Structure 1
Amino acid sequence: MKSTQNYIVLTLVHALLGFVIFSFKPFSKFYFGIALVYFIGSIIVAHNDKKTLVVLKACAYFVGAEVLFRMTRGGIAYESSKYLVILFMLMGMFFKGVSGRGYPYFMYLILLIPSIFVASLDLRFDANFRTDLAFVLSGPVCLGLASLFLFDRKVSYKEVFEMLFFMTLPIVTTTFYLLFFNPSIKDTIANTSSNFAASGGFGPNQVSTVLGLGIFGFTVRLLLKSPTLGLKIFNSIFLILIAYRAVITFSRGGVFAAIITITAFLVILYSKALPKLKTKLLGSLGLLLISFVLAWVISSSSTMGLIDKRYANEDALGREKQDLSTGRLDLILNELDGFIENPFVGIGASITKYRREGRSIVTHNEVSRLLSEHGIIGIVILLILIFTPLSYRSKNKKNIFFYAFLAFWFATINHSAMRLAAPAFFYSLSLINIKNEKPPIHRKRAIQQ
């Protein structure tokens, strides 16, 4: 009962934070500082048995808060969350070490280095070398270090649920900030393009991605951590709000990533569940479906049907758009040209965006970027990233979240590359080793004569 009360209070407090930050945006910097000090201090003072959990919670929290701090300029740097995930993982390594079986990720990190030297030889005169490298490589380095720390790391399901809860808290704050920033979408839409006003004045692609994470987090909460009807309704309300705000960004990537991730999770959950749990899940699945339908109906009504046209790949007049990828296919083909021209070592890290016919446009697809900027080395990197977790899974099948975590990573890097820390962190979570939780032992007290 106490844990349920704490959950409700923390969720509502983070909803309130959204209003506070909207009312006084500089508070975001204070919020960032408090969270940073709290988690660094928590990792340092935590008991050795709890270090991994605290590291996971710290990473998850800043992954969930990344877009909020970017749109409100609360972080100390644009890439703050990636740097902090790296810092927290390094702290975890310092206290807990790494598994020797994670050597593929040592190789992966080393293979990122040649592209830096190639880029330094072909750098455009107007490029900021350090900033460009940090933007392009911070995500891959974050993935490599997180994977090193979490490879075969023993984590219980209870700890996974707690980690996901900490991830959703700042997403609740983001959602309520958006609700106050843009309460009426009708005043800001004129077509079916991605909507910056509905995204807090920030990139709709990134906003929909992090809100998609929130959809997944509350879906898990609704299905597996809502023992009472009241809690189910509470979680459904937040799920509807987050899904609604994700949809009306008009950026489909984060919504589709959430759908793919949830589908992967449900398939494994239902196939592994005992008959008793399957019966219990039916009611929650019905409520989940109702929540999604309500979120869509509200979105369709508030956008005057334009969101229906967006997902049908039509413009505001109902005419079908010829390019379903909204220009992303052209970017991919442009990057593949770079691979064909320089197949061995690629064109160099961060150089891709300077090949867009004079325009500086960053990539949306991590796969094509790896091929273009790393050449054949990029193919080796992809093979490591794909087959290492699958190989680990073949020997350890206890993690029901495995395919969900991996699906989110793959879906996200194909529409938003590694702009956010989220795909790197979720990829690394597919490598954890779910441990059995020991039931408490109740000993009878001896009767004294």
Structure 2
Amino acid sequence: MDEGKSKERGNNEEGKSPIEKLQEGLYSRDKPPVLDEERYKFGQKPVDSVKSGWFPIKQATKLKIKRRFFLPFVWLKKALIIAAVFFVLAVSVSVFVIMGGLNLVSTRNVEIVVSGLTVIEAGEELVLDVALRNDNRVNLEEVTLTLEYPEGARDYLNVNSVLIRQEEKIELVPAREEVSKTFRSVLFGEQNSVKSIRIVAEYKTEGSGAVFTKEKIYDVGIRSSPLTVSISAPKEANAGQEVSLTLDISSNSTSAIKEILVSLDFPVGFTLSVANPSPDFENHIWRIKDFQPRDKKEIIIRGRLDGGAGEEKPFRIAVGLPNPENSRIVGVEFISLVESVTIKQPFIDLVADIGGSESGDYISKINQTIRVDIRWANNLPIDLNDVYAEVKIKGSALDRASVRPSRAGFYRSIDDTIIWNKNTFPEFSKVKAGQASAENYICLNL
């Protein structure tokens, strides 16, 4: 009977389309048909039909083994992350405890407190109360307070003695307390300058041999200088003209200053003629001793100033205390000034060419004739009347009998001077604006 049904089903299925066959197979309650072995060709082995139940026990065991194989690595990764977090927290807590002052001993719990003036007059006594405050829970022992002073500091008992540093010892600074020491000094410096004092505290803690250090910088401003200096000088001068400078020095100090130096650096082209009083060192440095309060000193300098038109000639003045290592130079400046004099174009240019050179240096052989050409020009926008010119010859090698000026020049042998004026040279009666000439010369032998 079964065989007859199967033939009948086969006949019915032959007339159905592939889609109808697929649809009928999906909704059929019968067991899926077994594939015909005749479809496997070329020696292929038939594939077992898909199982409707769970995986076999062997396969499930294999998957279980694989999962157990990965578990240790997951826990290892978690353990490493936990260890890293713990390490970072431990380091952070340690740094916080040490730097944050929560530890029993911390430099942040030690403070240097300074009481004193922050602005003084130069030469005035400076009194500083320096306290070491201990906010730790243990005592500080073998404390040394050191003050390192800037240039210009002096001993308050002797202002001529250079002060470099001061030290004070403190045996014990109890916990939660402070101990102070007093330091005295005298500061000199330029007006409106700032002097920095370095304060260093070295100490040990109770029961420890380690040395700790605490530092602080204390600034003191100099309101005014113990001296005032004024200079009187012309703003302009002709090239070759004699100029005069006057220095006025006054004392503002409340105490006597044993010694000060005044240094005046001359510009290039300045030749000193007279100085009153005379310099003490190197022709430009004056020493003033025992300068009493409200004293005044005056220094007058005269000299010739040469240079090109429009050129500025700076005179540099420095006044202060002598250098302890070299008493001939200024060590601590109270005043520093620069006064410039501008070379203006002269009314008349007068240039001498010696042997064709304007440099002024010429080398000649004995009995060789030397020609000196004199060139002049009126630089003013107006005419000049009664012009006068003279040339002086200096030197023992001059052969006076050989001096021969050009036309209209007069040689005065008594002082070796050649003169041109309106009487000897009519063109000098009236020189027009901008007029120039190069007709005058001198011939001479050595």
Bigger proportion of residues as strand = 2
Give the number of the structure with larger relative contact order, counting CA–CA contacts within 8 Å between residues 6 or more apart. Answer: 1
Taking structure 1 as the reference length, the TM-score comes to: 0.16
Bigger proportion of residues as helix = 1
Rg: which structure is higher?
Answer: 2
Taking structure 2 as the reference length, the TM-score comes to: 0.16
